[in-house]
A and B are shown apart, each in its own frame.
Chain A
Amino acid sequence: MRTNDLILQTITKIVIFIILAFSLHLFFAGHYTPGGGFIGGLMTAAALVLLLLAFDAKTVKKIFPVDFKKVTAVGLLIAVFTGIGSFIFGVPFLTHTYDYFDIPILGETGLATAVLFDIGVYLVVIGVTMTIIQTIGEDE
């Protein structure tokens, strides 16, 4: 039986950007409001899962030619190196700091090194979730 997924695919093409924007918002808002690397990564994975549902595994692999196991590894490396980076300044492991910088468009913004650690968490969550779903989703 041939089915027509036109409505689902069209909706997906629009909604996926809203979900990705929401996940980025959750990620960057994590310092002062609810959110953070974990739920941001889960939402990004949810957007990719919606893409998997509306299209198929081959198409998603073509759009995102990424090995998600390597994403997990890169995330763990980033998280560890933010911890090791604190040794350069002679402070204990995983010591974080922040400062205010003048950024051209945003004005004076507080930048914390905890964001770098959060990027690691974000990548690990995306990698693990997508690896689990893609491994289970492959039938045969």
Chain B
Amino acid sequence: MIDVLLNVALVLLSVSTLGFVYRVIKGPTTPDRVIALDAIGINLIGITAITCIVLRTQAFLEVILLLGILAFIGTVAFSKFIEKGVIIEDERKS
């Protein structure tokens, strides 16, 4: 019973990830693509968690936190590049 539910959830997450992939390819502006990539990262977290339950293991739980941190840092770096043009400033202006 729980396995069927987990597989359904995996399929739904895959469909939503495909939707985000469509937005990454099609997205008219760069911020659209960045947000879609961030959301793909969050979906990957969900897929990893459900795979953990399917495989009945705790070995991948670190991956979840890792993906969250990396998605956050990547999105911040992209946003800073879009806003200011440089990712690492030498000295703050403000």
**Residues of A bordering B, CB below 8 Å:** 2-5, 8, 15, 19, 22, 26, 33-35, 39, 43, 46, 49-50, 52-59, 133-134, 137-139
Contacts and interface: CB of A to CB of B under 8 A. Distances in A.
Closest 5 CB pairs of A and B: A137-B88, A56-B89, A56-B92, A52-B88, A2-B94
Nearest to A29: B62
B70 interface: yes
A9 to B, nearest CB: 10
A55 to B, nearest CB: 7
Nearest to B86: A139
A3 B80 CA distance: 11
Contacts of B90: 56-58, 138-139
B93 interface: yes
Given A33-B59, A137-B87, A139-B86, A53 B92 contact: no
Contacts of A5: 94
B71 to A, nearest CB: 11
Contacts of B76: 8, 50, 53-54
B73 A55 contact: no
Given A22-B69, A35-B62, A3 B94 contact: yes
How many residues of B sit at the interface, in one of the four size bands?
A: 20 to 34
Interface string B66-89: 100110110011001001101111
B62 to A, nearest CB: 6
Nearest to B69: A19
B52 to A, nearest CB: 12
Given A8-B76, A22-B65, A46-B69, A56 B94 contact: no
